[in-house]
Structure 1
Amino acid sequence: MPRNLSIGFSPCPNDTYIFHALATGLIQWPGGLSVTLADVEELNGLAASGSLDVVKISVAAAAGILDDYVLLRAGGAMGYGAGPVLVSGRDRTLESLDGARVAIPGERTTANLIFGLCCREAGIAVERVPMVFDEVMPAVEAGSVEAGVVIHEGRFTFSERGLKRVLDLGAWWEGFTGLPIPLGAIAIRRSLGEDTARRMNEAIRRSLGAARANPEAGRDYVRSHAQELSEDVVCSHIETFVTDYSLDVGESGMEAVSRLLAEAGCTRKDIFIEI
């Protein structure tokens, strides 16, 4: 029988939408769950230290934890037209940022990895300044950095703050690889065993299914963790980052993750649980 597990995911609308039913007991986990909500880079750090049994991570961060964790096929963020965006306070090109200070939403994030690939392909070098994702746009506005990589709701709100898009990093990745952009994934401890991993994968699928069948049931839960976001932004966030890949990554999704991790220097084959 599955024991009590510690699980961590972000307060972003896509995660709270997916995990609401599971986290609140509408979809029951035998033994119960201890839930932690934290910023994605904090979650990446908790995974690196082995502090959680089940944890939402940036796909790029998986490269450093696969000895201890394996990825589930459900619950992640992946798709087309869903990537991070490089923004600046004025019209610029990527090449014009050579030597500039650029804010990034954490060193372990997929956004940072893909931005680094863009810079490599463009033949430029920048000074990357790590910060919490919601500090990136204020830093660009204040002029303490010349540009910033925005994720989450920043994709939908940067223009409202007078910022200019330099490059859509998701579109760049799609053109570079022909694959969907693998932003986030759910990792589970290998030591829990394959049966528990499959049970958790199915529980997450059921939780997402419950959200899609009755979106109103989790509305207050999602809103309570997205207090500063408008209803339109919350809806756009969910529509963009919760896709059919969130139910199952499929063959193209697994290929996308493998490709991204290869770019991070990881060539493991046993990345995902076997269904």
Structure 2
Amino acid sequence: MALSLAFSPCPNDTFVFHALVHGLVPGAPAFDVTYADVDVTNTAAENGAFDLVKVSYAALPWLLDDYHLLPCGGALGRGCGPLVLTKDARDDLTGATIAVPGERTTAYMLMRQWAAARPPAKVEVVPFDQIMPGVAAGRFDAGLVIHEARFTYQRYGLTALADLGEWWEGETGLPIPLGAILARRGSVDPDAAAEWVRASVRYAWAHPEASRDYVLAHAQEMEPDVVDQHIALYVNEFTEDLGNEGYKAVEALLRSPAL
């Protein structure tokens, strides 16, 4: 019987999971795959919807009773944090309406902490792909974005008010934990799951062209050069193994007063 697996259609996730999804990891089971935005997977994981699932690190306090955190496969690193974008020049978010990708995302948690002294007047949860167009059209004063938006926001005439990854690194000296891979307790052996995921990561690095068509098919009309930048930034040594520094970063995030 196939296990259920959920992750985003973003290039880093499809690159990492290509081998596992396509039966290229020896000894791994078959998977039924769901592609969904992280705000969707955060909520679904609270209901125990998947055997393996990609979620926000900021959602862990609500999930670890039912899931094991895997030491690989996720998104954690430096220079890859969320951005606060605006169309018009401003110094902070005082009085602003800001669009965010989810209330239990790492991005939103960091934004709340960064803007604690001058918070926005209103927060609206908006699908990720609608945030930049919404700010550009004037529906929102600001937008909180992640992933490939780092490479494309200037096309919408937007400017970066804050780089929350840069802010986090300055505050903690640690890489920023964005997305985690979880294995459901009682459903999947976490050690076995970690080996499957790690083997999929290593296959992706060893055979980067093997996943090319799969990644581009799910890249939401992203240009190939942006796809390459996305993968290079978000798939790194912490994707293979969190290590001591990665776990320290996760612990620091979970101690945040914004949680």
Amino acid at match of 1:144: R
Hey, what does 1:80 align to over in structure 2? 78
Hey, what does 1:244 align to over in structure 2? 237
CA deviations 1:96-126 (Å, max 9, x no partner) are: x212101111111110000000011x44343
Distance 1:29 1:220 in 2: 24
Hey, what does 1:51 align to over in structure 2? 49
Structure 1 residues without counterparts, runs of 5 or longer: 267-275
Amino acid at match of 2:81: G
Candidates 159, 162, 170, aligned match of 1:164: 159
Distance 2:257 2:67 in 1: 17
Amino acid at match of 2:44: L
Candidates 138, 143, 153, aligned match of 1:143: 138
Distance 1:44 1:264 in 2: 20
Identical columns (%): 47
Contact 1:22–1:29 at 8 Å: present in 2 too? Answer: no
Q: Is 2:99 aligned against 1:106?
A: no
Q: Is 2:217 aligned against 1:224?
A: yes
Distance 2:29 2:181 in 1: 20
Hey, what does 2:23 align to over in structure 1? 25
Distance 2:157 2:118 in 1: 28
TM-score (norm 2): 0.96
Deviation at 1:263, TM superposition (A): 1.4
Structure 2 residues without counterparts, runs of 5 or longer: none
Structure 1 residues 54-65: aligned runs within 5 Å:
54-65=52-63
Distance 2:236 2:31 in 1: 25
Deviation at 1:262, TM superposition (A): 1.7
Distance 1:131 1:227 in 2: 17
Deviation at 1:264, TM superposition (A): 5.8
> What RMSD, in angstroms, separates the aligned Cα atoms of the two structures?
1.5
Candidates 177, 180, 203, aligned match of 1:210: 203
Which portions of structure 1, spanning 4 or more consecutive aligned residues, are displaced by more than 3 angstroms? 28-31, 122-126
Residues 42 and 28 (structure 1 numbering): CA distance in 2 closer, same or farther, change over 3 Å?
farther
CA deviations 1:13-60 (Å, max 9, x no partner) are: 000000000001111454421111111111111111111011000111
Distance 2:54 2:220 in 1: 21
Distance 1:265 1:166 in 2: 20
Distance 1:190 1:262 in 2: 24
Distance 1:42 1:236 in 2: 25
Hey, what does 1:235 align to over in structure 2? 228
Distance 2:31 2:236 in 1: 25
Distance 2:120 2:219 in 1: 35
